[in-house]
């Protein structure tokens, strides 16, 4: 049956082969503006994973990911053809990158468009006419308008083996010609080849940036990945000495507001594998972004200084001081220091042993603590009175405590002068004066 059909078709075949050869060989003939002047032709690079009959531009994959020695199936598609009766095209490639294996008119999943209106075809087996150039052609047997299809579909399939993947390994279409059943042919200008790319094994990197390195309060921070990622969320950020708000972004770019907790270094980390690229590669860890919060807090000072001591008695008073900012080194200053005393600027300690020559009251003594940003805090001003040696205690070692009834005395302009060794002018000289502030 097939044999008789074949022999029945033989004259047509000869005619068609003759036509096709003529079509293929007569590029020098003037190209008429036929019905296919607006048709297109593209290479769909992933035909092995495609079994849809419906052809749309959106479904066409012009890129495929492949590795060395992979075989890929590429479909040549006619787009928006009109009364398509025959076609031919060349596929160009670099033979150092691709090896042509074989060509097919169709597969069970991908029927040939030229046969879609019931026509029979003559398929010219693909020929590698030169290294890196495969020529394909097919024609309907007979030239009947009712068998020539309109629209889009697969016209040929080509299997390639990947020899080597270069940066831009590609296959291109060249010299695509469509012939309609009225024997008008068009050179198809709207063509698109395809690209083979290696698998993405590159992990996204990520950078953290902010306009300022020294910040007083909140700061806008940006996070930029080297390629679009998914799965990057606020909890992926590791913040030391701060919090964040207003996290937003997608793809490769994200941003948020940073709010430092206290003065000092604020550190932002993004660990590895916080997010991943389209191929599932987790990001590499970011270089930590360190800012300095310069919002200073004032130190605090406390302590109850002595108000009285006998001459010959050692005095040592050290205030307590601290700073809410970790690492702030504190120094101390004193105003109206008694001449007989020494002051340690590193500790705030006031020390010394007055003698009878120092009897009297030193007024308005102020001890102040200062942090590295010159923020300071002071103890209330206090007076320190040196009383005479107790007669029963010539060496001053057993000085009696001051009379509590004298503790409430306030400094008074009418108090007798006696600062820094002057006479107290007060019979006993054994009392504490305060500036009236509570300690």
List residues near Ca ion by CB under 5 A: 200, 202, 231, 236, 274, 277, 281, 296-297, 323, 325, 328, 371
Q: How far apart are CA 38 and CA 17, in angstroms?
A: 26
* Nearer CB in complex with Ca ion: 186/323: 323
Q: Do β-strands 382-387 and 308-310 pair in parallel, antiparallel, or remain unpaired?
A: parallel
Query: What three-state secondary structure class fits 352?
Result: strand
Least distance (Å) between residue 201 CB and Ca ion: 7
Q: How far is the CB of 279 from Ca ion (least distance, A)?
A: 6
Q: Quick one: 143 or 281, whose CB is closer to Ca ion?
A: 281
Q: How far apart are CA 320 and CA 317, in angstroms?
A: 10
> In this structure, what token pair is assigned to residue 15?
């005619």
Pairing of strands 40-44, 190-192: parallel
Residue number with CB closer to Ca ion (85 or 236): 236
Distance CA 271, CA 403 (A): 68
Can you name the residues that pair with 240 across neighbouring β-strands? 267
Task: Give the closest residue to 208 by CA, choosing from 245, 259, 244, 256.
Answer: 256
- As given in the structure block, the two tokens for residue 6 are 């074949």
Residue 11 three-state SS: helix
What is the closest distance, in whole angstroms, from the C-beta atom of residue 268 to Ca ion in the complex?
15
Residue whose CB is less far from Ca ion, 219 or 323: 323
Q: What one-character DSSP code corresponds to residue 3?
A: H
31 within 8 A of 185, measured Cβ to Cβ:
yes
Alpha carbon distance 168, 174 (integer Å): 18
Tell me how far apart the terminal alpha carbons of the chain are, to the nearest angstrom.
120
In the complex with Ca ion, the residue whose CB is nearer, 297 or 435, is 297
Q: How far is the CB of 249 from Ca ion (least distance, A)?
A: 13
In terms of CB distance, is 271 or 288 closer to Ca ion? 271
| Minimum gap (Å) between residue 256 Cβ and Ca ion | 14
Q: Which is nearer to Ca ion, 37 or 197 (CB)?
A: 197
Contact 283, 318 (CB under 8 A): no
**Closest C-alpha to 103, from 153, 47, 147:** 47
Q: Residue 120 or 252: which CB sits closer to Ca ion? A: 252
Q: How far is the CB of 232 from Ca ion (least distance, A)?
A: 6
> With respect to Ca ion, which residue has the nearer C-beta, 174 or 202?
202
Look up residue 315 and give its two tokens.
Answer: 């005095």
Q: At closest approach, how far in Å is the CB of 171 from Ca ion? A: 24
Residue with tokens 């075949």: 13
Q: Residue 164: phi, psi to the nearest 5?
A: -155, 140
Which 3 state secondary structure label does DSSP give 25? helix
- The H or E element that residue 139 is part of is strand 133-140
CB nearer Ca ion, residue 231 or residue 288: 231
Nearer to Ca ion, 203 or 259 (CB): 203
Shortest Å distance, C-beta 237 to Ca ion: 10
Question: φ and ψ at 254, to 5 degrees?
Answer: -140, 160
C-alpha pair distances (Å), 186 with each of 51, 91, 129: 29, 18, 22
To Ca ion, the closest distance from the beta carbon of 325 in angstroms equals 4
Rank residues 156 and 291 by Cβ distance to Ca ion and give the closer one: 291
- Measured distance CA(155)–CA(75) in Å, rounded: 8
CB of 277 to Ca ion, least distance (A): 4
Shortest distance, position 244 Cβ to Ca ion, whole Å: 15
**Please, what is the minimum distance in Å from the beta carbon of residue 64 to Ca ion?**
17
HSE, side-chain direction, 13 A CA sphere, residue 274: 22
**Joined tokens for residue 386:** 């040196």
Report CA 45 to chain centroid distance, whole Å.
Answer: 33
């Amino acid at each position: 049956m097939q044999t008789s059909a074949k022999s029945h078709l033989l004259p047509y075949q000869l005619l068609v082969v003759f036509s096709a050869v003529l079509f293929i060989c007569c590029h020098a003939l003037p190209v008429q503006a036929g019905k296919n002047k607006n048709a297109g032709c593209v290479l769909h690079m992933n035909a092995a994973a495609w079994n849809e009959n419906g052809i749309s531009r959106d479904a066409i994959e012009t890129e495929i990911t492949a590795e060395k020695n992979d075989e890929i199936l590429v479909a040549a598609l006619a787009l928006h053809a009109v009364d398509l009766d025959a076609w031919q095209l060349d596929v160009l490639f670099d033979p150092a990158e691709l090896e042509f294996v074989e060509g097919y008119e169709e597969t069970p999943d991908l029927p040939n468009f030229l046969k879609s209106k019931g026509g029979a075809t003559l398929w010219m087996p693909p020929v590698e006419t030169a290294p890196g150039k495969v020529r394909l052609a097919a024609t309907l047997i007979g030239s009947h308008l009712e068998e020539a299809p309109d629209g889009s579909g697969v016209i040929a399939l080509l299997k390639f083996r990947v020899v080597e993947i270069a940066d831009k390994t590609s296959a291109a279409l060249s010299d695509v010609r469509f012939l309609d059943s009225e024997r008008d042919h068009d050179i198809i200008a709207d063509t698109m080849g395809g690209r083979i790319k290696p698998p993405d094994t590159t992990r996204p990197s990520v950078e953290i940036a902010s306009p300022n390195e020294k910040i007083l309060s909140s700061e806008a921070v940006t996070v930029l990945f080297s390629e679009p990622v998914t799965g990057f969320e606020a909890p992926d950020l590791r913040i030391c000495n701060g919090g964040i708000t207003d996290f937003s972004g997608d793809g490769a770019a994200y941003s948020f507001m940073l709010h430092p907790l206290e003065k000092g270094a604020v550190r932002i980390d993004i660990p590895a594998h916080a997010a991943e690229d389209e191929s599932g590669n987790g990001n590499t860890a970011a270089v930590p972004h360190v800012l300095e919060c310069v919002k200073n807090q004032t130190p605090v000072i406390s302590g109850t200084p002595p108000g009285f001591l006998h001459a010959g008695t050692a005095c040592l008073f050290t205030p307590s001081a601290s700073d809410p900012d970790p690492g702030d080194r504190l120094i101390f200053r004193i105003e109206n220091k008694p001449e007989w005393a020494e002051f340690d600027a590193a500790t705030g300690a006031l020390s010394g042993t007055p003698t009878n020559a120092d009897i009297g009251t030193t007024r308005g003594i102020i001890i102040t603590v200062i942090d590295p940003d010159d923020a300071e805090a002071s103890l209330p001003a206090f007076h320190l009175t040196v009383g005479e040696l107790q007669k029963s205690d010539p060496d001053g070692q057993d000085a009696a405590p001051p009379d509590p009834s004298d503790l409430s005395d306030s400094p008074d302009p009418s108090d007798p002068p006696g600062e820094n060794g002057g006479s107290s002018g007060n019979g006993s000289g054994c009392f504490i004066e305060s500036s009236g502030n509570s300690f």
